[in-house]
Amino acid sequence: MFSDKLKEECGVFGVYNNDEFDTARMTYYGIFALQHRGQESAGIAVNNQGTILYRKEMGMVSEVFDDVVLDSLKGHSAIGHVRYSTCGDSLRENAQPLVVKYTKGHMAIAHNGNLTNAEKLREELEAQGTIFQTTTDSEVIAALLSKERIKVNAIEDALKEVMKIIKGAYSLLVLTPHKLIAARDPLGIRPLCIGKKEDSFFVSSESAAFDGLGISFVRDVEPGEIVVIDHNGLRSIQTNTEKKSALCAFEFVYFARPDSVMEGLEVYEARFKAGRILAQEHPIEADVVVGVPDSGLAAAQGYSVEAGIPIVGGFMKNRYTGRTFIQPSQELRELGVNMKLNPIRSQIEGKRVVMIDDSIVRGTTSRRIVQLLKDAGALEVHVRISSPPVKYSCYYGVDTAERKHLVANYMSIQEIGDMIGADSLGYISEDGLLESVKGNFNFCTACFSGDYPVK
Amino acid sequence: MFSDKLKEECGVFGVYNNDEFDTARMTYYGIFALQHRGQESAGIAVNNQGTILYRKEMGMVSEVFDDVVLDSLKGHSAIGHVRYSTCGDSLRENAQPLVVKYTKGHMAIAHNGNLTNAEKLREELEAQGTIFQTTTDSEVIAALLSKERIKVNAIEDALKEVMKIIKGAYSLLVLTPHKLIAARDPLGIRPLCIGKKEDSFFVSSESAAFDGLGISFVRDVEPGEIVVIDHNGLRSIQTNTEKKSALCAFEFVYFARPDSVMEGLEVYEARFKAGRILAQEHPIEADVVVGVPDSGLAAAQGYSVEAGIPIVGGFMKNRYTGRTFIQPSQELRELGVNMKLNPIRSQIEGKRVVMIDDSIVRGTTSRRIVQLLKDAGALEVHVRISSPPVKYSCYYGVDTAERKHLVANYMSIQEIGDMIGADSLGYISEDGLLESVKGNFNFCTACFSGDYPVK
Amino acid sequence: MFSDKLKEECGVFGVYNNDEFDTARMTYYGIFALQHRGQESAGIAVNNQGTILYRKEMGMVSEVFDDVVLDSLKGHSAIGHVRYSTCGDSLRENAQPLVVKYTKGHMAIAHNGNLTNAEKLREELEAQGTIFQTTTDSEVIAALLSKERIKVNAIEDALKEVMKIIKGAYSLLVLTPHKLIAARDPLGIRPLCIGKKEDSFFVSSESAAFDGLGISFVRDVEPGEIVVIDHNGLRSIQTNTEKKSALCAFEFVYFARPDSVMEGLEVYEARFKAGRILAQEHPIEADVVVGVPDSGLAAAQGYSVEAGIPIVGGFMKNRYTGRTFIQPSQELRELGVNMKLNPIRSQIEGKRVVMIDDSIVRGTTSRRIVQLLKDAGALEVHVRISSPPVKYSCYYGVDTAERKHLVANYMSIQEIGDMIGADSLGYISEDGLLESVKGNFNFCTACFSGDYPVK
Amino acid sequence: MFSDKLKEECGVFGVYNNDEFDTARMTYYGIFALQHRGQESAGIAVNNQGTILYRKEMGMVSEVFDDVVLDSLKGHSAIGHVRYSTCGDSLRENAQPLVVKYTKGHMAIAHNGNLTNAEKLREELEAQGTIFQTTTDSEVIAALLSKERIKVNAIEDALKEVMKIIKGAYSLLVLTPHKLIAARDPLGIRPLCIGKKEDSFFVSSESAAFDGLGISFVRDVEPGEIVVIDHNGLRSIQTNTEKKSALCAFEFVYFARPDSVMEGLEVYEARFKAGRILAQEHPIEADVVVGVPDSGLAAAQGYSVEAGIPIVGGFMKNRYTGRTFIQPSQELRELGVNMKLNPIRSQIEGKRVVMIDDSIVRGTTSRRIVQLLKDAGALEVHVRISSPPVKYSCYYGVDTAERKHLVANYMSIQEIGDMIGADSLGYISEDGLLESVKGNFNFCTACFSGDYPVK
């Protein structure tokens, strides 16, 4: 219940260190700060003088690692990875980083994103005799890197060749005995940024991971850029000839932490602004604004300010639902069991409520939340959504439902509003959303518009 | 870090069921909804036709129970318990419910609170030859109940006698083969309430546990009341001759869920009102109001509305810190590692900030949070606290620090403000707090006033 | 399959140490050497300057303890316990040692045996208001000790009184802040012995636990004796007025390790001698003697020597069946799945075999083993049993089947022989068995003779 | 202590089933029966209609699998693997079966043995761009198989080509969606045999795994043979042009179960015969023969029969030492702590003892055992070893020590005898050993003779 959300695939974090800090622990806290990007598995690989030591398991960062494990991961540089929550022990093989031995020694790879031509590349490689042990794109990239590496002089040159072959979205880290390499796909669909602390360099899916570690944000990795970090410092290779970009708009709408800054824009600020625009586009007479925790809160504050309607805490959210929580059975849910959200009755009862959420995927969750508010005595519930209707599947690393399950694909806005029981329903326009994230960057809006930047 | 909080001791939940529902699962969800009252251990005991089956372990509710365990706990009635987080495996023996065999069969006991004469009672019992296997008050109560039971005709009569002997705070559940008994100390220091769903009765530390289970709130258990639930329904025994009450004020300030209702008052509403009063008592010119998550948020909203200063989301809080999270070492903290709160810079930078928190215990946490705001660019940070200065230790089931560590005990408000780096500091007055919770009930304010309702 | 054996209840081990050794680890190895006496749960309690620290859990010794746990159990003296394997997590409360707080401080109790009047004593204590949290005899003993202790000056004096009240079999260890006390029931039904190493004293259910630790065997604790070990050394209190003894004969037949010495007699030697007597009582013409591993091997060697028939290794026994092994289902067993014993065909095929086992309880196991030998080509299988027919239940700490399931209770020897498919069947006579263990001690033979030494 | 043994690398078991049996459970019991061949990790892969499901983990068979896991492994055919015990979590990646996706779908590989040219093959493959994720030979074989498969029409044809490339010892199982393939290296260095039950075929490292499952032994896989099992039944491909064979002699001396039959010879019988020959080659006047458990027992029985000296049980061996047992520290061992073997004093004291063991590697263990016998009162200890001196390292899958640690490599037999404290020492001759295993097969004796059958 209440888990009808788009799902991000992964988060990555890397350290190239000059022995000042505890590399494994810095990486632990780094991927811990990115835990919202993936709760299925976690892994850390460290470069211990040419040998790559690693640990990866199903579970949350705090479950996979303890002091004994971290103490065993001594190294000069490291990369870490979190992967999103699906299910099944058999997927343990898919945990990252992927660590391989190739002709030049060991290499660890972690990435966030999705290759659109992975299946085709696998088939081609298999036809040449390659075997695969996982179903990750990382293994495809590793296989290609290894094949290109025998033709060129440096791993970054091999990566340059590989980036001509692979298509889609990727923010990629490669750890070798002497280098930490970061690369981002030519459109910059997934975020990736660089930090620095004393003589150490860091890379992360989101800048918020730097804040908690006292690391200074340096800049985003550019679309198509390969960043090579070694004992000479940081060097950039730009593979992009065209000046295009297409950052996933949903990073701002929902995925990223509100305290992260991407392409110069703070996520909270963008959401707040989207809330203001939403109020302009879909005004309504009401008594209170409530945000659906947690991702609807910033937009709700924006809506409140713009509309001059006070914001209140509308819901209590139970924070203790971890991996091992037993979800109520269908039978218990029909008996009224609802363990995640509870309305704050005093703020709702007898009020006309504007309820702000970030998106509607299947609609079932929205219907339940509207019902909770009505049950708590709301006179009217006006639903305002801070993203345009999601009508198209994502092929770049987000687990949208199949297209046929996307409610906006087969219902009009009016019908959706009726279905979820809202007294009115308003989505921000695509232009409104783009206005909220306006800057020196372009966005991928494929899931709203069907306009896919990569085929 | 950031864990410098008062700690509640426990939460209890009970079901007397007529076979309509899955007793163990109802109790599981009940204590899950009370998880904020204790994360150290969890336990459930069910009455299986006269035999009491149980499971209790160190850990969170979702860690202690899985489907296999719950399936094994078949029964007609049940009680559950959560206990707060200290540390150490050796305390496993102290997990509740306590299950004992006495002259009339089996009995399970769970309680929230603290007896002020437990040590004396233990000594008296030991001097008569009694042995103890735990250090819980529950075992003292069980020993006394058993001793009284041989003199009277019913367990509730024995309990009546025991309540003449024990002093202090307790909200108590007793499960026997034929009855579920709930009792509250004569001053009602800890909360306890009754719910109903079809033919089943429920008791809970907080009403919010009922909401998520579709249970209707009936009423609070009264101070000094013994409630006997059996196949004849619910029967009340009032042991209180005087009409006194002294509910812990901190239940409203901090412990309870905002969506719980106690003595007719919703916790969120009380906090909101405290925020308004705080704004009246300590107004300030400022640009934004921020609440320290999570317990400062409702008061912040009240302050914002009263003061006419917009509220913004000031902090991102990392929700993934479970029991197994490795806290940053002192060394890492000095390197700037801070994993729990991160300011939302866009809302803080260049602003005069009113920061609302629920209490200051040692002051160390407040100092860090003020610093975070200043580092994020706050021009001024005005701290407003929605409870009066905590100067006295609690003897009724709250883990305040020792008195000598309570900063308000040895510093003036001005000194505390300087120490935490605030540009100004204001606490709500005791009268203000009492105004915020005004109703047909009296409150224990011993930790503020030193005026202890029980010696 | 093949688990149709009598089951011993427990083993105990104690250390009174003068800081020379690592007390917890000595106890760990001590109870590890007694693991054959119980595989259900294991526990160690240490006296840490008046505080008793402990750990007990379901599982084997090596599963319950690791270095971290043992390092946390620092102390000057200690007792340990292993309990036999039944099943079920709910029995965790019954793991020993039992640690209690009583009027004089802490006390830990561990025992091997069974009180015949435990139920009556519980009822009497409950009628006085005592509560029980386990179903162990140890808790009854602790409750009585505590009650007696308030009347006398020393714990050993209290124990003396308790020994007047309790009936049955017990080898008992009591650890207090200043003493380690060992006591054995007036008939010495369960074994208990004393060892010494430098200035430290040790007690153990069996002497073999001393051998592996380099401890010198001193002597057996006498029937009815209380041994008090403290900083003054070892002191003996004899509570026995009559000179009676009744050591369980099955300790020699099956329970004890062959390398243990009890009452001056080595278990292996006794079994070997029983084998010789068996050969005298039930001679047969045959080609080879095989012992059923492991407890039938010593008697087989005796039989071989006496009869002049060569002994051969008749069976391969799979040693890896731990607690977590999945026993073959009935269906698989019918398909011929048998994971424990496999005959050594070359030694059996075409031979007339004398098969030596220690006992027949239900007969099902014997039937299967005879069948295995026939399937492996044995021409004849003559079964010889080194104990008399088991016809009566034990009330002194051995889990015999209920009497109605004891095959010797309702079948003649001829019928049993037919049922198990043997070409002939011979049991050692009761006199023969007593001859094999002949010495300065008397034996309990209740399970053969129905002659119970305690009512 | 007492673990100074040669170590076998692995055991394999496979099922090609016609839905009669529970494939995963048959494989579970199969590898359980082969647990003595490897205790480090265990794994099972099943073919579920073209998809290969698997589970592999560090630990014993009974630890890795439970009913839930086995229930999830539904399939028509299966292979299983056990690997020997080293240490370290990081080796989890090396657990087998290895499951890969290649151009024709999924494939699982398990093998026992060691390729002598693995390192060279890896380098060649890496130079062509291949990546490796484990350090197992199985991955090399999988990579080669995949490469060859694209050139030919069937997996068995690819395997034929691969067998021309790989050198060394291997008993190999390959599971594909439609086939189970078994292959043995051209010299048959490691054992592998075929079984049948109703319409199902089985393969196993040892025949004893068949006995416990009611499977009929069919025959050994021949050196160099590829056996293809599919819905058409069993088909053989012989790749061997020369008629050579070189089964590891140590399979008979130590590795294999005594109840296994290899190349027509039962292991127990071979050991028994070796004992007889040893008695002829190194007679001695003595009172008793004792075998060091478990692998010395059969030879001891042979020695006893030939020499006319009675065999006795000389040692009690503690069977409970699992993976989690805490080995005594050096300090405790010096205090006399010895947890594994304890002499049966009555059989040793005052006797002249012939002690039979299977081999001497470093000599440290033998010295301790001789000392135990002397401490138990043996007048003389004459050590007889049922294999010739081990002087050379094995490159075919046995973990002998490095050559410099092999005591027979740098000491004369006289010196070894003195070092271990024996009154006399005799090894069986190489001819004697070969006589004991005489049949239609040749043996690898490289570790005795230095005569390596494969370079």
pLDDT tens for D275-317 read 999 999 999 999 999 999 988 999 999 999 999 999 998 899 8
pLDDT bracket for residue A9 (50, 70, 90):
confident
DSSP C185: -
Q: Rounded CA gap, D279 and D299, in Å?
A: 10
Query: How many whole angstroms separate alpha carbon D6 and alpha carbon D8?
Result: 7
Q: Give the H or E element holding residue A277.
A: helix A267-281
pLDDT for res D335? 73
State the Cα–Cα distance between residues A32 and A44, nearest whole angstrom: 11
* Domain identity same for C162 and C32: yes
Q: What is the pLDDT of residues A345-381, one digit of tens each?
A: 999 999 999 999 999 988 988 999 999 999 999 999 9
Read off φ and ψ for residue D387, nearest 5 degrees.
-135, 155
Is there a domain that residue D455 lies in? Answer: no
Choice among D6, D10, D278, D372 that is catalytic: D10
Give pLDDT, residue A88. 39
Give the integer Cα–Cα distance in Å for B327 and B343.
Answer: 19
Give D212's contacts in chain C (Cβ within 8 Å): 318, 337-339, 342
Answer yes or no: do A331 and A427 share one domain. yes
Task: Kindly list the residues from chain C whose CB atom is less than 8 angstroms away from the CB atom of residue B135.
Answer: 101
Residues D28 and D133 placed together within one structural domain of the fold: yes
Number of independent structural domains in chain D: 2
Across all residues in chain D, what is the average pLDDT?
91
Residue of A nearest to D144 (CA): A129
- Is the pLDDT at A86 greater than 50? The verdict is no
Q: Is the peptide bond before B97 cis (omega within 30 degrees of 0)?
A: yes
Catalytic residues of A: 10
| pLDDT tier at C23, thresholds 50, 70, 90 | very high
Whether residue C234 contacts residue C228, with contact meaning beta carbons closer than 8 Å, is answered with yes
The pLDDT of residue D400 is 63
Q: Which amino acid is at D67?
A: D
Cβ–Cβ < 8 Å for A43, A10: no
The model's confidence at residue D1, banded by pLDDT at 50, 70 and 90, is very low
Neighbours of chain C (3+ CB pairs under 8 A): B, D
**Of the ranges A449-453, C32-36, C239-243, the best mean pLDDT one:** C32-36
Q: Is-contact B206 B191, C-beta < 8 A? A: yes
Max distance between CA atoms of chain B, in angstroms, equals 72
- State the ipTM, two decimals: 0.90
Domain range for residue B286? 266-440
Are A316 and A223 contained in the same domain?
no
Residues constituting chain B: 455
Question: Which residues of chain A make contact with B266, given a CB cutoff of 8 A?
Answer: 344-346
Which is catalytic among the residues C10, C98, C278, C298?
A: C10
Tell whether B118 is covered by a domain: yes
For C310, the closest chain D residue by CA position comes to D305
Residue C98 confidence (pLDDT) above 60: yes
What is the per-residue burial (b if ≥16 Cβ within 10 Å, else e) of B56-87?
A: bebbbbbbbbeeebbeebebbbbbbbbbbbee
Domain containing residue C439: CATH number: 3.40.50.2020
**pLDDT by residue (tens digit) across A173-229?**
999 999 999 999 999 999 999 999 988 999 999 999 999 899 999 999 999 999 999
Identify the DSSP state of C8.
B
User: pTM, whole model, 2 decimals?
Assistant: 0.91
pLDDT of residue A87: 40
The answer on D273 and D215 residing in a single domain is no
- Res. B18 pLDDT band, cuts 50 70 90: low
Residues whose CB is less than 8 angstroms from the CB of residue A216 and which lie 6 or more positions away in sequence, other chains included = A195, A196, A197, A210
Q: How many CB pairs under 8 A join A and B?
A: 162
Q: Is the pLDDT of residue C147 over 50?
A: yes
**Is residue A5 in a domain?**
no
From A101, A131, A148, residue closest to D100, measured CB to CB = A131
- Amino acid identity at D27: T
Helix (H) or strand (E) holding D365: helix D364-375
CA distance D297 to D84: 23
Both tokens of residue A446?
């494929």
A271 and A226 in a common domain: no
The residue among B400 and C362 whose pLDDT is bigger is C362
Query: At residue A3, does pLDDT exceed 50?
Result: no
Distance of CA B348 to the CA centre of its chain: 32
Residues of B in contact with C53 (CB under 8 A): 90
Neighbours of chain D (3+ CB pairs under 8 A): A, C
Q: What pLDDT is recorded for position B6?
A: 63
> Is C52 within 8 Å of C110 (Cβ atoms)?
no
Work out the pLDDT band at A440, boundaries 50, 70, 90: confident
Average pLDDT of every residue of chain B: 91
Task: With respect to residue B455, please indicate whether it lies within any of the assigned structural domains.
Answer: no
Query: If you compute the radius of gyration of chain C from its CA atoms, what whole number of angstroms results?
Result: 23
Please compute the mean of the pLDDT values over residues C410-436 and round it to a whole number: 96
**Pairing assessment for the beta strands D168-175 and D180-184 based on DSSP bridges:** antiparallel
- From the DSSP assignment, how many helices (H) and strands (E) are in chain D? 17, 23
Residue in D21, D319, D325 nearest the CB of C319 = D319
CB under 8 Å, gap of 24 or more: what pairs does B362-366 form? B362/B4, B362/B401, B362/B405, B362/B406, B362/B407, B363/B4, B363/B407, B363/B411, B363/B416, B363/B419, B363/B420, B364/B4, B365/B1, B365/B2, B365/B3, B365/B4, B365/B5, B366/B420, B366/B422
Task: Note the pLDDT of residue A418.
Answer: 97
Q: Tell me whether residue C440 is in a domain.
A: yes
Q: Are A412 and A384 in contact (CB under 8 A)?
A: no
pLDDT band at B85 (very low <50, low <70, confident <90, very high): low
Q: For chain A, how big is the Rg over CA atoms in Å?
A: 23
Say if residue D61 is in the same domain as residue D204.
Answer: yes
* D324-364 pLDDT per residue, tens: 778 888 878 777 778 888 999 999 999 999 999 999 988 98
For residue B97, being part of any structural domain is answered with: yes
CB pair distance less than 8 Å for B332 and A22: yes
Strand arrangement of the beta sheet that strand D105-115 belongs to: D98-102, D105-115, D168-175, D180-184, D225-230, D233-238
Q: Which runs of E-coded beta strand occur in B96-199?
A: 98-102, 105-115, 168-175, 180-184, 193-197
Average pLDDT over residues D100-105: 95
Contacts of A22 in chain B (CB under 8 A): 332
Residue-level pLDDT at D8: 60
Q: Whose structure tokens read 């004396």?
A: B120
Binding-site residues of B, in ranges, read: 248, 295, 357-358, 394, 444, 447
How far apart, in whole angstroms, are the C-alpha atoms of residue B15 and residue B24?
9
Q: What is the pLDDT of residues B42-83, one digit of tens each?
A: 999 999 988 999 999 988 999 999 998 999 999 999 999 999
User: In this structure, are C324 and C189 located in the same domain?
Assistant: no
Average pLDDT over residues D204-224: 95
Question: Residue A403 phi/psi, 5° resolution?
Answer: -55, -35
Annotated binding-site members of A for Mg(2+): 295, 357-358
List, for residues B213-252, the tens digit of each pLDDT value.
999 999 999 999 999 999 999 999 999 877 789 999 999 9
Which residues of chain C does B150 touch, with a Cβ-Cβ cutoff of 8 Å?
127-129
Residues D200 and D314 in one domain: no
Distances (CA, A) of B417 to B307, B431, B441: 21, 21, 33
The answer, yes or no, to whether residue C162 has pLDDT greater than 60, is yes
Query: Where is pLDDT greater, at D21 or B100?
Result: B100
Of C89, C129, C133, the CB nearest to B150: C129
Specify whether B301 is located in the same domain as B232: no
Closest alpha carbon to A226 in A192, A197, A201: A192
Name the residue facing D339 among C33, C257, C269 (closest C-beta).
Answer: C33
Q: Is residue B122 located within the same domain as residue B52?
A: yes
Q: Which CATH number fits the domain that encloses residue B68?
A: 3.60.20.10
Confidence bin at C3 (pLDDT 50/70/90):
very low
For residues B114-136, average pLDDT = 95
- In this predicted model, what pLDDT tens digit does every residue of A129-157 receive, in sequence order? 999 999 999 999 999 999 999 999 999 99
Q: How confident is the model at residue D71 (pLDDT cuts 50, 70, 90)?
A: very high
Confidence of residue B5 (pLDDT cuts 50, 70, 90): low
The whole-number pLDDT of residue A4 equals: 61
What does the pLDDT read at residue C70?
93
Residue B403 has pLDDT above 80, yes or no: no
The percentage of chain B sitting over the pLDDT mark of 70, rounded to a whole number, equals 94
Report how far residue B397's alpha carbon sits from residue B138's, in angstroms, rounded to the nearest whole number: 13
SS3 category, D167 = coil
Backbone angles phi, psi at B186, to 5 degrees: -60, -20
Tokens of B325: 């999270």
Q: Quick one: tokens of D219?
A: 């025959």
Closest CA in chain D for residue C256: D316
Find out whether A390 and A447 touch, Cβ atoms under 8 Å: yes
The share of chain B scoring above pLDDT 90, in percent, equals 75
Percent pLDDT > 90 in chain C is 75
Would you place residue D2 in the very low, low, confident or very high pLDDT band (cuts 50, 70, 90)? very low
Answer whether D129 sits within 8 Å of A102, measured CB to CB. yes
Give the model's pLDDT for residue D88.
39
Q: Compute the C-alpha angle D109/D112/D116, nearest 5°.
A: 100
Q: What's the whole-number average pLDDT of chain C?
A: 91
Q: Is residue C444 part of a domain?
A: yes
pLDDT band at B2 (very low <50, low <70, confident <90, very high): very low
**Residue showing tokens 């200074």:** A216
With respect to residue D452, please indicate whether it lies within any of the assigned structural domains.
Answer: no
D394 is in an annotated binding site: yes
Side chain identity, residue C113: G
Q: Which chains touch B (3 or more CB pairs under 8 A)?
A: A, C
**Which chain C residue has its CA at the smallest distance from B144's CA?**
C129
Of residues C122, C129, C149, nearest to B146 (C-beta): C129
Element containing residue D126 per DSSP (H, E): helix D118-127
Least confident of C23-27, C294-298, C402-406, D411-415: C402-406
More confident residue, C237 or C242: C237
Name the residue with higher pLDDT: C174 or B319: C174
Q: Do D116 and D219 sit in the same domain of this protein? A: yes
C182: enclosing H helix or E strand? strand C180-184
The pLDDT of residue B327:
82
- State the pLDDT at residue D87: 40
Burial classification of residue C354, based on how many CB atoms lie within 10 Å of its CB (0-12 exposed, 13-18 middle, 19 or more buried): buried
CA distance C172 to C156: 12
Task: Determine the distance in angstroms separating the CA of B391 from the nearest CA of chain A, rounded to an integer.
Answer: 30
For residue B380, the SS3 value is strand
Q: Dump pLDDT digits (tens) for B442-454.
A: 999 998 999 888 7
Q: Are the beta carbons of C259 and D343 separated by less than 8 Å?
A: yes
